[in-house]
Structures are given as structure tokens and as C-alpha cells.
Amino acid sequence: MINRKKTQRIHQEEGLAVIQRRRCKRAVGTRALAPVLALPNQRWSPDLVHDQMA
């Protein structure tokens, strides 16, 4: 295995285009907290697995 920095240096010495690394995208802003549910049946979620099987 060849180190990434060594590969970039060889590319630059040969006059080739240097391969750029892609950066990970970060989430923008803050995430909203889930509301605290006080009563049962206050929030309903679809059952997607059941719908696909039926």
C-alpha cells in the first residue's frame, strides 16, 4: 500500500493532475429535539414493512 501523501507528491513531480479528496458533508444548523409525548396514541407512524408485505 502507498501512502496518500506520497502518491500526491509523485503526481506533482510528474506534472499530473493531483487527485483531490472528497470531504464529508456536515449537517447545517442544529437538530430539533423530538417532542416529549405525554399520552399514548399521541403520535402515529406508518408501518412501511407491513404495507410492503401485504
Q: Is the per-residue pLDDT at 54 higher than 60?
A: no
DSSP-assigned letters across all residues of the chain: ---HHHHHHHHHHHTPPPPPPPPPPPPPSPPPPPPPP-STTSS----HHHHHH-
pLDDT of residue 52: 58
Q: What is the pLDDT of residues 8-45, one digit of tens each?
A: 888 888 888 767 778 888 877 777 887 788 888 888 77
* CA atoms within a 13 Å half-sphere pointing along the CA-CB vector of 18: 12
| Three-point CA angle 18, 1, 24, nearest 5° | 55
